[in-house]
Amino acid sequence: MNAPWKAGQAGNRDPFMAFLCDEITLDVARSVCNEMGWAQEKVNKGGLRNAIQSLSVSASPQILLVDLSESGDPINDINALAEVCEPGTVVIAMGQVNDVRLYRDLIISGLQDYLLKPINPDMLRDSIINAQTNLNNAKQEENGNERPHISTAVVGTRGGSGASTLATSLAWILSEKMQMSTGLLDLDVHFGTGALTLDLEPGRGLIDAIDNPSRIDGLFIERALIKANDNLSILSAEAPMNNSIMSDGSAFFQLQEEFRSAFDNSIIDAPRNMLIDYPHLANDLNVVVLNTELTLAAARDAIRIIAWLGSNAMQAKIIIVANKVNSSNNEISRKEFESSIDQTIDFIIPADYKACTQASKLGQTLIAAAPNSKASNVIVKIAESVIGSVDAQDDENKDSNDNKSMMKSLSGFKSILSKKEKE
């Protein structure tokens, strides 16, 4: 009997829930939850029968982990679980019985995986990642020939490099020029300029999401978002400086999920410190636009961020953009910068302070205020590269996390630094 969770979408539900029998396994699941940015409270004491009781009166999650250790008849109990699970749930089971026939029968029943106890974090993490892949594939199959959602993060190597200006301009181009539904998520919770650039009030949507992750669903997103134009919505904040972010990251994961459901594109203005605090933000990115200036400090940090992305966002295409570039009088040359990071700069945005000042006065993005400027023309090409990157993503070389490349980059950076010191 195939379980009903084999068909359908997961919808607006918790990303993960677990029902486990022993403290050791509970600790492992909680540690993995913490890594993934999920609420540890969703890891419950009690096995399969407790899962059946709980899910008969509450919504089932996207990924469900159940312990069969206390089950006398696992197959019948799994089928009973299927009766209370909503369509789209991916189920991972675990137990103490090492039996090939049981494993085969469980898989036939519709389970994603069966893990033999005792489990370790790597084992559980790999199984969850496979489950996430299946969920994403199911979404793409249901969408048929529709273009898949493109999630793009814009990350600045240094503060003031122009990453936020670039992020809002890309969102505006995708929504206004390319007529694609786009969500802009500004994760600089205290000092974000996404709403300010678009002459909007940020509202409390992002703060409410961080404070109450369990409230995040399609209706919440619809109410929290601020419309910038017919195709562009923004979620931003200006949190008081005496309020620090108290979050395990589950809110950001949920927001990314809802943005994928609601828009063709999501542009995430991601301060680099957010990547450090919440590395799971990079798990499902399609594109990372690394915005930098041509300085020694930016070169150093570009090396480090590219290496980090190689470990945490291997699936993402990296587009390197040098911003605010003068025709002369840069701290280091393009050739020196590329040599130091051992990669080619994809786009050069020329410095255009007059156009940026005009945009600020008008309360518009740079591309809207000065559509014919050289800087705007380059940003349009970057947007086209973002849209075209998904189709070619599998063909891109993903060598940025290679240790030899990292060492070569650091060596190049040090040689430039030595040269500057001699001068």
Q: What Å distances lie between residue 343 and 307, 331, 340, CA to CA?
A: 12, 18, 8
pTM of the predicted model as reported, rounded to 2 decimal places: 0.63
Among left, alpha and beta (phi > 0; psi -120 to 50; other), residue 393 is alpha
Q: Which domains does the chain have, with CATH numbers?
A: 4-143 (3.40.50.2300), 150-422 (3.40.50.300)
At residue 417 the predicted structure's pLDDT band, cuts being 50, 70 and 90, is low
pLDDT digits (tens, 9 = 90+) for 302-358: 999 999 998 888 889 999 999 999 877 888 999 999 999 999 999 999 988 888 888
Q: Per-residue pLDDT averaged across 269-286, rounded?
A: 88
Please choose, from the candidates 57, 55, 59, the residue with its C-alpha nearest in 3D space to the C-alpha of residue 78: 55
- Of the pLDDT bands very low, low, confident and very high (cuts 50, 70, 90), residue 216 is confident
pLDDT band at 151; cut points 50, 70, 90: very high
Output the pLDDT for position 205.
82
Strand partners, 66: 19, 93
Identify the residue with better confidence: 73 or 418.
73
390 and 286 in contact (C-beta within 8 Å)?
Answer: yes
Residue 420 has pLDDT above 60, yes or no: no
Judged against a pLDDT cut of 60, whether residue 145 lies above it is answered with no
Q: Which residues of 270-357 form beta strands (DSSP E)?
A: 287-292, 317-325, 347-350
Region 241-258 average pLDDT: 82
More confident residue, 223 or 395: 223
User: Which is more confidently placed, 168 or 327?
Assistant: 168
Edge-first strand order for the sheet with 43-45 is 43-45, 16-20, 63-67, 90-95, 113-116
pLDDT, average across residues 401-411: 50
Q: What is the pLDDT of residue 421?
A: 55
CA of 178: how far to CAs of 184, 232, 356, in Å? 15, 11, 22
Question: Is 77 within 8 Å of 49 (Cβ atoms)?
Answer: yes
Q: Are 173 and 369 in contact (CB under 8 A)?
A: no
**Average pLDDT over the chain, rounded to whole?**
83
Q: Percent of the chain at pLDDT above 90?
A: 27
The SS3 of residue 290 is strand
pLDDT > 70: what percent of the chain? 87
* Res. 368: pLDDT tops 90: no
Q: How many residues does the chain have?
A: 423
- Measured between alpha carbons, how far is 58 from 52 in angstroms, rounded to an integer? 10
